[in-house]
Structure 1
Amino acid sequence: MKKMIIHGGKPLKGDVWIGGAKNSTVALIPASILSRTTVVLEGVPRIADVDNLMDLLGEMDVKCKFEETTLTIDPENIKRSPLPAGKIKSLRASYYFMGALLGRFGKAVVGFPGGDDIGPRPIDQHIRGFEALGANVENEDDKIIITAPEEGLRGAKISLAMPSVGATMNIIMASVTANGQTVIENAAKEPEIIDLAIFLNNMGAVIRGAGTDTIRINGVSQLKAKASHTIIPDRIEAGTYISLAACIGNGIRIHNVITEHLDSYLAKIEEMGVVTDVDEDSIFVYPAGDLKMVQIKTEPYPGFATDLQQPITPLLLTAKTGEGIIIDNIYPKRVGHVPELRKMGGEICVENNIILIHPSSKLKGMDVNAGEIRAGAALMIAGLMADGETVIHNAGNILRGYDRVQDKIRKLGGDITVVEE
């Protein structure tokens, strides 16, 4: 257990470089076991979820070496091994091993996934996708057992009830070695799905349509990595630092950004009155003046990302006029940061799963709890804004999703330390 100690109220200034996308990385690492040769991933973020995934690979005798931002994964001597529920429960993205193991071995035995507590996130669409490919799915002793028929998985047309990122990725991984063509309709369009498709295609997969609502996969017999793959920049980390810069910055440039991935987010902060200079791969955020409240509704990509509704909340607290409204259409129960911000003096509440925000006076440092990754990011920004000392308990949740966050904020001039509880 870790805690983050912040002495706030100091303006931040300088440059920050964004790491590789967490939501790509946690799928690409499981997908690497589909390769018969060594995989090299570049731009891998230094986050706790990567360490946890490497531990799970170790359970299957997959060798890993992580140096700087390069992760080398050697799956040539992989053994099919049940993945223990204890380690699986440490992160939600462990469910990608279901599709990867099914695609590689025709069988997956995986403990039920854990992860952040942000309300119901069922995996029924994943299961229906596997069953459509011909797999048999059973639940036994807190494990999911997925088995392909003797003749192997067969391509199928799969229509998702909603454009789930996890289900789209898992079905892609399972179907790249299936017999025939698989068509995923109402597929998620997130950039991380395109990243996964590029990674797999470079190993010999045949995937078309990633980034649209219809993806077609023609199965191949096996995959082999031929060159390294560079992970796309993390749009959620970038959005978090933009919010931080607008809240407490005295001129901050965010580097290694694909600005198109942030269009809906940038539109909202511009509506608030935040001034930015957007270049080809960086964004400069000017010190904020008088801001106004906005209404935010999260939607599947290219709409406003659910992972950014919490990091933008402290920025809304600084607005001078109006009432801010956040409606999370993806995870309506994602409101755990609200009572913690209230402790710090934020004028914020929840009514019928709608977050209501009013202009707030100076926040005060308090002891608060990071219930999950993005809630922790919101509290970290609030702590940097606040007078006095803020202690964020369960700060390990922040470290699960934010690359070298302590070093990056210190370089901007922030007083932040992470220690063991």
Structure 2
Amino acid sequence: MSTNGLTEQTFAEMIAENGGRLFRTGACVRDSLLGIRTKQIDFTVVGMVKKNFKLLFPQAKESGTPFPVFYVMVDGIRSEVAFARTEQKADDGQIRISAKPKIGIEVDLLRRDTTINAMAKDSLTGEIIDPYQGQMAIGAKVLKATSSAFTNDPLNALRLARQTAQFGFTIETDTLELARTVQKDLMQVSPNEMLPELVMTLSEAKEPSRFFAVLKDLSLLSVAFAELAALPMDKFSASMLGLDAVANLSQNSKVRFAALGFALPKEGFSAWSERMSLPADWVEAASTFSEGIRILVQRRPADFVDMILKLRRGALDVTEFDLITQAVAFNIPQLQEFKDNMALPKGEVVPTELKGTEIRAWVKMKQVEAVAKKMQCLLEKKVE
């Protein structure tokens, strides 16, 4: 059947007619209970083999190994569909995955990281399946490992820290102790596998500093983000305060990272961006902001003009630059005020005898004069 125009109800009914059951699982169930608009609907199929699913939905796009998922348009949304499975850590340290029709939804949920993510919703009946008391954890605002299998995946410790920052929940004591045991295993994880947790933290967390603070408490910050861990305590604390101040004004991950990257010395920032494939606009924004702060403290009009022009065509714009300086209380005037004064006065035009680079030089001179005049006005106003 074509998946065009497929509704969740029809999707669930077709699977049920063929001996299976469809459930919403993971973050979308959690978010609905928290009153948060979910970004993606994930489904889990129970009681059906992959071959039969592909026959029913031939347009579903299969992706991934060794355990594939399918992408299906449901209610006009590209949704991820997986099959109920178990995960067990073998003696050699490898995770053995088993997906069989007899695996029930409760067993599948047991492999999830925390109990708030170990819930499902029956797509036919709307019933919430909550065998590990996820709703109780949400009510208590507590993060708790679903089982001791939490340590099978060392990235669960980063997910735990991210969920703390995202929801403001505390962490159950036993779960903290479990997370502290994954340090050696986390050292074997590629930095790029850790990147998604950083991206989600800077994109979604209300207090992103809690992500780093939890990792520091777990002695995992030096493994995941060594450059931040190397900061002296006073600079680390200041960077976290600045990050949260910016996060309070903007949900833009690029802007938040620019504030965070500024806390690092140049060599530390370079090491981080080389070790982890950070988004290119993050790196450019952080580098531009650091350069701007270093230059603009000199209060030279020509530097202000150069920076405003650079911000016009770069990853960070003037409004975003001003937002960070305002949030972190840098002693830098708001650039927007100077930008507004850089246009040529009404009636003034470029002399006709100027050509090519002479025109650019003349315009630059006028812009510098305008910025210098504005600086003087602000200085005189401050003196008054």
What's the TM-score, normalizing by structure 2?
Answer: 0.33
More helix by share: 2
More strand by share: 1
**Higher relative CO (CA 8 A, sep ≥ 6), structure 1 or 2?**
1
